[in-house]
Structure 1
Amino acid sequence: MFTAYETGQAVQLVANETAAIRVRDIELDRENEILFVLFNYADKNATDPVFENLETGDLRTEPKLDGEGVAVSAHMAIDLRPSAVGVPSYRALLEDAPGIGRSKIQPFLTYLYRTGHRIQWEAPDGSVKNCRPIFDISGRASDTLRNDLREGRLSMIELVQHRPEGDGFDEEGAVVEEVRTIRLSVAPNSVGEAAMDLINRVRGRAHDLGYPNMKIRWTHGRQKSAEFGTAREDAGDVLVFKTTRITSDEPLSQCDEAIRPNSRDALRQLILEERA
């Protein structure tokens, strides 16, 4: 990764070359043995941002220029001290940012090492074999959805869209639609990983159709529910993986060009606390 980053080659074109993911910045904390990485993702097909004047309500669209894509970023901190013996695994913290998440970063890291690194090892028969790392970002489980669905089942998905004021439901405008809801019935066999895959497929479709919020219900002993935004990269992650809220005294931008010191310091502190 370091070599590719230093030579400007830590980038991959994806989605038929309409999007790109890259390592934007790297910092190594040698004293605490923590690596900080800033990932950027830019998408030509993403909708142009729209701004509204708070007083007049006037809208302004900022179009992308040729070759540009709407950009987002996420910070990652990697503990360079193995967290397990045997086949070593390493603790990592990933910023929860809409548009870029584990499902984009994991194959990108594998791609970087496939293009630039080879490891040789001696097989039992004495021959020398070549291999390369394959990254697997596995979440530290929380006590929510994935474990529940192993024995329970997904029962309902609900999509919620808040309608702008002024959308008349009748011709005279006496009734104004404020919220539009779609409830989707779920097949009885929607359990386990099949249910998780269904949630993420519906999330992507709902986002494309303009439904920013999604609610699911599932049964595991009793009925439970959770709501999240469809803009999340991996809808299930926020329900299944352990999450920690961190705050910032400074406004956070949609996309950063360099690692934010306050985000770096907060992630460092969390890793040090996990080691204790």
Structure 2
Amino acid sequence: MLELNQRWIHFYGVTVNSAPADAPAFNMEECVTELRKIQRKGQLFKLINKGTACIRVSKLLINLKSRRATFLFQYSDSKISDPAFSDLESGILRSEPKLQGEGVAVSAHAIFYLDPIKPGGLEYMLLLEDSPGIGKTKLTPFLNGFLKKILSRQFTNLDDNQLDCYPFFNFDHFASQSLTKDLEDGELKFIELIKNRAIHELDEEPYLDKSTQIIKVKAVPKTTGQKAVDLINKVKSLAKEKGYSDIRVVLKKAEGKQRSVKVSTFREDAGEALFGRMEVVSTDHDLHQCAPDIDLAFIKKMRALK
């Protein structure tokens, strides 16, 4: 359930890549400008999950002076149970059944900044409202599918061949909080050891060239602070000896949210690994589960977090 006057905000770094890798670089401004053209036609949406759900950009504003674009994403799912309401005193229930073709809907505001984080770079900051069903797992293929469709063009490579190229986004949590600080306030839940292995018998198959082996190590309750960091470093060292390239640390923050961070086993101290940033926004007005329009007051509070 979403709170009435509070939302968490994810900080992402969005890299604008080119495919193939030797193609000319694209930038965020041209990507969002072309996306807005599709959105204005009411076509920036996609049915997913065999047509039972839909993700769309319902609103998209670009401010070239302030160098940012504001998106309002909407996700609806017909497979989610009908919402029900209970009278607080009597417990009497009231349900609101979905009509034919409808799905339970949620929305998420997002701010894409049009200038790279570092001058001349390819990574741009993104602030995304935390909303169930709308995260980078859905947004990445959704946006990339449209970028390939609307921004494909030809270029001449170093071998003087004419090839098609297009941009695509890659989302990564913007690293700004140390793992040590998160473990001071939260609790270590478990650690996963991750190893990618080549399958030499399938060398001829381009889509089946490796497998992933994962071992899960569960922490005892109330493992926090430096004790948690020491345990992570001990597991990391063991994982490195056994040929594991990464570990994934899963912790529960003090506010109750569960977070995870991937740490290379080659890092000297896991406690210094950077962790994805999340901040909370509180409002003095009620927030919709699915906003019909961009909430400018909410967006102003999001911008203030940067």
Please confirm whether the aligned pair reaches a TM-score higher than 0.5, indicating the same fold: yes
Distance 2:222 2:49 in 1: 29
Shift of 1:222: 4.7
Aligned residues: 215
Could you report, residue by residue, the CA deviation over 1:73-128 in whole angstroms, capped at 9, with x for unpaired residues? Answer: 10110110111355511111111122211211111110111222213322112222
Q: 1:122 aligns with which of 156, 160, 164?
A: 156
Correspondence for 1:38: 72
Q: Does 1:263 align with 2:305?
A: no
Distance 2:135 2:37 in 1: 23
Correspondence for 2:276: 241
Correspondence for 2:19: none
Regions of 4+ moved over 6 Å: 215-218
Could you report, residue by residue, the CA deviation over 1:32-78 in whole angstroms, capped at 9, with x for unpaired residues? Answer: 11100000000011111110011211011111111000000101101
Q: 1:191 aligns with which of 186, 190, 193?
A: 193
| CA pair 193-27 structure 1, distance change in 2 beyond 3 A | farther
Amino acid at match of 2:117: S
Distance 1:4 1:229 in 2: 39
Distance 2:222 2:164 in 1: 45
Correspondence for 2:230: 221
Q: Does 1:253 align with 2:288?
A: yes
Distance 1:123 1:89 in 2: 24
Correspondence for 1:22: 56
Distance 2:173 2:92 in 1: 43
Amino acid at match of 2:298: S
Could you report, residue by residue, the CA deviation over 1:112-162 in whole angstroms, capped at 9, with x for unpaired residues? Answer: 1122221332211222221111211111123239x99xxxxx985xxxxxx
The percent identity for this pair of structures is: 29
| Contact persistence 2:252–2:259 (CA under 8 A) | no
Shift of 1:267: 2.6
Q: CA RMSD in A?
A: 3.5
| CA pair 33-83 structure 1, distance change in 2 beyond 3 A | same
| Contact persistence 1:25–1:38 (CA under 8 A) | yes
The higher-RCO structure (CA 8 Å, 6+ apart) is 2
Structure 1 SS opposite 2:302: helix
| Contact persistence 1:216–1:226 (CA under 8 A) | no
| CA pair 216-48 structure 1, distance change in 2 beyond 3 A | farther
Correspondence for 1:57: 91
Gaps of 5+ in 1: 149-153, 157-185, 200-214, 272-276
Structure 1 SS opposite 2:139: helix
TM-score by length of 1: 0.67
More strand by share: 2
Distance 1:38 1:93 in 2: 12
Correspondence for 1:97: 131
Correspondence for 1:47: 81
Structure 1 SS opposite 2:148: helix
| Contact persistence 2:112–2:127 (CA under 8 A) | yes
| CA pair 82-225 structure 1, distance change in 2 beyond 3 A | closer
> How do 1:79-228 residues align onto structure 2 when only pairs under 5 Å count?
79-85=113-119, 87-141=121-175, 142-144=177-179, 156=189, 190-191=192-193, 219-222=228-231, 225-226=251-252
Gaps of 5+ in 2: 1-34, 197-211, 233-249, 262-273
Correspondence for 1:13: 47
| CA pair 19-229 structure 1, distance change in 2 beyond 3 A | farther
